[in-house]
Amino acid sequence: MKYSKKEKSMMRKEGSCVRILLDKNDAGRIRFCENCDVVELEIGAISLRISAEDLHIVALLVKDADVRLAYYRLEKEYQSREKPLNDCNMH
């Protein structure tokens, strides 16, 4: 069985995991393995492996949820301030 030059170089690369730290903060860290084309999210005791191309869509999901949570809390705060007048102690 013959392999092309490109395939041979790909086979060599599959040898071992080389993880590159993409980012980290108090929540955890995210590493990328070029050989596996996998992104590892480490949050607390949880380790999540996703394909590198999915990272963007996962990031959007988290970002969107974060924004919606902020709006949800603002909305709740606004509603709690708008209590009926008979709740007011001034009268």
As measured in angstroms, the least distance from the Cβ of 23 to Zn ion is: 18
Question: Quick one: 23 or 64, whose CB is closer to Zn ion?
Answer: 23
Question: Quick one: 33 or 58, whose CB is closer to Zn ion?
Answer: 33
Report how far residue 38's alpha carbon sits from residue 25's, in angstroms, rounded to the nearest whole number: 20
Rg (CA), the chain: 24
* Residues 11-50, mask of contacts with Zn ion (x by CB under 5 A): ------x---------------x-xx--------------
Report helix, strand or coil for 12: helix
Q: What angle do CA 32, 35, 41 make, to 5 degrees?
A: 25
Residues that bind Zn ion (CB under 5 A): 17, 33, 35-36
